[in-house]
């Protein structure tokens, strides 16, 4: 109901603008332009995705206050795919064919992205995907504003190998059993082996989604760490399983000074559910932390707390990814003066938009973006201290340079018009 009423109001407002300026709208249908928000609001992933829905509503509201895009108001269309992969595809189809959205912001897990991919290709629409993922993909209709492995996993491992990171020699790669951890760990294993780490010094462990009894695995990690070499844990454990994992680590007395754990899926939002007193010093690698001081970040945090009317709400990395992605989309639309998907897709590479940490991110021809990489340390208040960061922005690689199957591939939608161009054979398609 609310949306219907809002769309009527929006249409009225749009009409008023047109009358006032006395110009006929360029597009055939006047009224607001619809933006699809495809994030789970129920089910297991609601915990992470609801926040992203809220941040999109905030960004759209903000844009409308500035007068919308190309003189037209934006209208959010929120659907709930309920953490259910086939439903993601159905809802995506609904957004594109029925609601005629100009662009969609959504998905969390790689499975959900893979399940909507055919829909976006078939109906030729634009998807902004805001989560760090395993890479090995570059699609014409998708823009990846989260980190590729070379923007998160590889720098984190480099840090742990450095003097400041403790010169780790032995590695536990622990992850949840699905595509993102498995691919990331495959890349990391290849990278570590190339760096001269012995096969015996790498332990890989997978657990089911929502695993809650970590006693055996934490005991194994302690045992593995007693071989006389500095040991570090790289965690791609995702979702709800993190809380019991960290609680067990704290209870078993695994201190960050002995065995540091660096996580790729634990941010401010996840730590809000844990008492971090005993976790001080454990690490996370991201492209954004709430604690980073910059005027644009301070303003964003203030705006977010006002929008949610909750002074305790935290900001996190995927929220920043949506912030960048949304601003890039607005700029691309303004550049080509059209909401048409093909024109926007062609205009996006090369578009620059500020990120929240004080830099300017750029959309690359492979549809990934440039980002800074930060290593943060857990503080007692559930926030992070930055202990290391890259000097420049890192360009996201669609295809990992460390895997045999993908090291010759690049994604280039500007010159080659191809997502998996083989530079050795100069052919598109592996």
Partner 1 sequence: MPVPAFLRVLWAALWLALSSGLAVAQAPGARDIETALDKLAADSFGDTEAAIALIARSGVAAGVAILEALGDRRLFFVAGDTAVFYKDAAGRSFNARSGVATDIPASASSVRLNNRLRGQVQAALGSMTLLSPDPAQRLKAAETVVKSRDASALPTIDAALAQEKDDGIRRALEDARAVLTLSSTAAPEPQRIAAAQRLAANSDNESLSLLRQMAGEARGGLKDTLDRGIAAIEGRQKLQLAAQTVWFGISLGSVLLLAAIGLAITFGVMGVINMAHGEMVMLGAYVTFLVQEGFRAKAPHLIDWSLPLAIPLAFLATALVGIAIERGVIRFLYGRPLETLLATFGISLILQQAIRSWFGPTNLSVASPSFMTGAFNVMGLQVTYGRLWIVVFTLVIFALLLVILKATPLGLQMRAVTQNRRMASAMGIRTRFVDMMTFGLGSGIAGMAGVALSQIDNVSPNLGQSYIIDSFMVVVFGGVGNLWGTLFAAFTLGIANKGLEPFAGAVLAKIAILVLLILFIQKRPRGLFALKGRAVDQ
Residues that bind partner 1 (CB under 8 A): 41-44, 46-47, 50-51, 163-166, 177, 205-208, 210-213, 215-217, 219-220, 222-223, 225-229, 240, 243-244, 247-248, 250-253, 256-258, 260, 269-270, 272-275, 278, 280-281, 377, 379-380, 385-388
Distance, in Å, from the CA atom of 11 to the CA atom of 305, rounded to the nearest integer, reads 29
Nearer to partner 1, 80 or 137 (CB): 80
Residues 6 or more apart in contact with residue 416 via CB below 8 angstroms:
410, 428
Of 27 and 226, CB closest to partner 1: 226
Please identify, using beta-carbon distances, which residue of 281 and 354 lies nearer to partner 1: 281
Cβ-proximal residues to 333 (8 Å cutoff; 6+ apart), any chain: 69, 70, 102, 339, 344, 347
Smallest gap from Cβ 112 to partner 1, in A, equals 16
Give me the least distance between CB of 387 and partner 1, in Å please. Answer: 4
Q: Which is nearer to partner 1, 26 or 227 (CB)?
A: 227
* Cα separation, 284 vs 242, whole angstroms: 13
Q: How far apart are CA 366 and CA 410, in angstroms?
A: 7
Q: How far is the CB of 202 from partner 1 (least distance, A)?
A: 15
* Smaller CB separation from partner 1, 31 or 382: 382
Which residues does 155 contact at the CB level (< 8 Å), separation at least 6?
285, 373, 375, 390, 394
Backbone torsions φ then ψ of 425, nearest 5 degrees:
-90, -5
Distance in angstroms (rounded) separating the CA atoms of residues 65 and 57 = 12
The residue (of 227 and 360) whose beta carbon lies closer to partner 1 is: 227
Largest distance between two CA atoms of the chain = 78
Question: What distance in Å separates the CA atoms of residue 292 and residue 281, rounded to the nearest whole number?
Answer: 17
Min separation Cβ 269 and partner 1, Å:
6
Half-sphere exposure at residue 224, Cβ-oriented, CA atoms within 13 angstroms: 23
- Contacts (Cβ under 8 Å, ≥6 apart) of 60: 35, 74, 75, 76, 326
In angstroms, the CA 82 to CA 101 distance is 20
Q: How many CB atoms lie within 10 A of CB 293?
A: 9
Do 145 and 408 touch, CB atoms closer than 8 A? no
Beta-bridge partners for 285: 375
Looking at beta carbons only, is 7 or 389 nearer to partner 1?
A: 389
Smaller CB distance to partner 1: residue 296 or 386? 386
Q: How far is the CB of 243 from partner 1 (least distance, A)?
A: 5
Nearer to partner 1, 43 or 71 (CB): 43
Least Cβ distance, residue 275 to partner 1 (angstroms): 5
Q: Which pair of tokens denotes residue 56?
A: 């999109």
Supply 392's token pair. Answer: 């420049």
């Amino acid at each position: 109901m609310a949306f219907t009423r809002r769309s009527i109001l929006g249409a009225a407002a749009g009409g008023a603008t047109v009358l006032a300026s006395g110009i006929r709208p360029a597009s055939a249908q006047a009224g607001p332009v619809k933006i699809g928000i495809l994030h789970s609001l129920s089910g297991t992933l609601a915990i992470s995705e609801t926040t992203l829905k809220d941040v999109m509503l905030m960004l759209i509201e903000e844009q409308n206050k500035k007068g919308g895009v190309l003189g037209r108001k934006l209208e959010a269309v929120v659907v709930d795919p309920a953490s259910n992969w086939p439903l993601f595809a159905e809802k995506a189809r609904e957004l594109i064919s029925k609601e005629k959205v100009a662009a969609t912001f959504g998905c969390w897990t790689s499975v959900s992205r893979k399940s909507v991919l055919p829909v976006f290709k078939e109906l030729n629409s634009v998807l902004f995907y805001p989560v760090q993922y395993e890479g090995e993909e570059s699609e014409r209709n998708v823009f990846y504003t989260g980190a590729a492995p070379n923007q998160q996993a590889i720098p984190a491992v480099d840090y742990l190998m450095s003097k400041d990171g403790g010169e780790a020699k032995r590695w536990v790669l622990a992850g949840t059993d699905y595509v993102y951890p498995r691919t990331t760990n495959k890349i990391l294993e290849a990278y570590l082996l190339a760096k001269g780490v012995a096969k015996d010094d790498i332990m890989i462990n997978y657990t089911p989604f929502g695993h809650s009894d970590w006693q055996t695995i934490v005991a194994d990690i302690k045992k593995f760490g007693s071989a006389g070499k500095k040991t570090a844990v790289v965690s791609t454990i995702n979702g709800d399983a993190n809380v019991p994992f960290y609680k067990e680590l704290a209870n078993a007395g695994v201190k960050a000074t002995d065995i540091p754990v660096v996580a790729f899926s634990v941010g401010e939002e996840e730590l809000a559910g844990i008492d971090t007193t005993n976790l001080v010093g454990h690490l996370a690698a991201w492209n954004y932390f709430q604690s980073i001081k910059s005027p644009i970040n301070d303003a964003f945090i203030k705006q977010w707390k006002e929008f949610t009317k909750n002074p305790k709400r935290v900001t996190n990395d995927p929220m920043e990814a949506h912030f960048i992605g949304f601003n890039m989309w607005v700029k691309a639309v303004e550049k080509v003066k059209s909401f048409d998907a093909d024109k926007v897709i062609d205009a996006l590479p090369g578009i620059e938009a500020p990120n929240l940490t004080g830099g300017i991110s750029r959309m690359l021809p492979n549809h990934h973006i440039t980002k800074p990489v930060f290593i943060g340390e857990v503080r007692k208040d559930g926030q992070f201290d930055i202990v290391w960061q890259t000097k420049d922005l890192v360009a996201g690689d669609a295809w990992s340079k460390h895997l045999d199957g993908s090291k010759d591939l690049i994604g280039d939608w500007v010159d080659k018009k191809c997502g998996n161009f083989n530079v050795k054979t100069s052919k598109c398609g592996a």
